Amino acid sequence: MAAQSSLPEIAQRLKQESLAGSNPYLFTAHKSNFIIPFSYSTGFNEAQLGELVSGQSDALKSYEVEFQLSLKLKLNGGDLLLPDDALYVAFTVASWWQFYSRELSSPFRESNYTPEVFYLAQLKEALPGGDLALMAGLEHQSNGQSQAYSRSWNRLYTGVLYSRERLVAGGRLWYRLPEEEKTSPLDAKGDDNPDILDYYGYGEMLLGWRGDSQEFTLRAHGNPSTGKGGGELAMSFPAFGRFRVVVKYFNGYGNSLIDYNQFQQRVGIGLLLSNLL
């Protein structure tokens, strides 16, 4: 998509969302929205999933359908602390659907639910040639399962996003809110995944570039002390109408909560329903 003004692309989007915030019933895209009919992975957490499907892990397919829906709603009608700042609530659901596993009646292998509340402030021309956005929020992430299959965590985060013409760069750091230790794996209360920071680390980074028709993003998270983490490279280009094709490649740990400690490579192609950036 060609730039329509001298404002950086991300600044244009934030400005449009700020104007749309005057409508109390309007949701806008938060993270990317997509549906990938064919997504191939080199491996799942079969030890857990084998029990979940009654020992029929052999019937699970390496290829499945992947999709994500992510929306946010602006809460304030006017400025809070700074001009054009905003307080949002958001919800994201990401699902991995074993559509091709007809022997298992095509179950949803995993779904991750992420409600959050966050504050966003724009600092226009805060750095030479570009705009800066600051954010801080509280996020809960869960796979909605019970006992041994449950995965969840809560985190506070703060981050920055810099945009200059076609370039976007940013990152965020988080602090995991502590939970009590489980007395038994089947205990409903307590920490489902005490070592999750070993694989997700304490933050993530983003690099993005938008051309006349293509978009590219690189996202990565990791823990230097354990040497574990994960990264995703994505590219999108026009398909038809308002839709775009998206191609995604993931390598590492943390593609989903059930697989947070499972190394995998994943590649998929599908339709992007909102921009990558």
Question: Of the residues 54, 57, 62, 142, which is catalytic?
Answer: 142
How do residues 225-242 score in pLDDT, each as one tens digit? 999 999 999 999 999 888
Half-sphere exposure of 44 (CA within 13 A, CB side): 23
- Integer Cα distance of 34 and 67 in angstroms: 5
Q: How do beta strands 108-127 and 215-223 pair?
A: unpaired
Non-local CB neighbours of 25 within 8 Å, separated by 6+ positions? none
Is the domain 9-248+262-272 a CATH 3.30.450.20 member?
no
Question: Of the residues 57, 106, 140, 150, which is catalytic?
Answer: 140
Q: Confirm if 121 and 133 have CB atoms less than 8 A apart.
A: yes
Q: Confirm if 206 and 170 have CB atoms less than 8 A apart.
A: yes
Where b means 16+ CB within 10 Å and e means fewer, 194-216 reads: eebbbbbbbbbebebbbeeeebb
> Which range among 1-10, 67-76, 190-199, 258-267 shows the weakest confidence by mean pLDDT?
1-10
158 φ, ψ (degrees, to nearest 5)? -140, 145
How do residues 42-66 score in pLDDT, each as one tens digit? 988 866 665 555 556 667 899 999 9
pTM comes to 0.88
How do residues 112-161 score in pLDDT, each as one tens digit? 999 999 999 988 766 777 889 999 999 999 999 877 788 999 999 999 99
How do residues 191-225 score in pLDDT, each as one tens digit? 989 999 999 999 999 999 999 899 999 999 999 99
Non-local CB neighbours of 139 within 8 Å, separated by 6+ positions? 114, 115, 116, 118, 154, 155, 156, 157, 174
- Integer Cα distance of 19 and 118 in angstroms: 18
Q: Confirm if 75 and 45 have CB atoms less than 8 A apart.
A: no
Could you give the 3-state DSSP secondary structure of residue 61?
A: coil
**185 or 246, greater pLDDT:** 246
* Strand spans (E) along the chain: 28-29, 34-41, 63-74, 86-97, 108-127, 130-142, 152-164, 167-176, 203-210, 215-223, 228-240, 243-252, 264-272
Residue 142: active-site member = yes
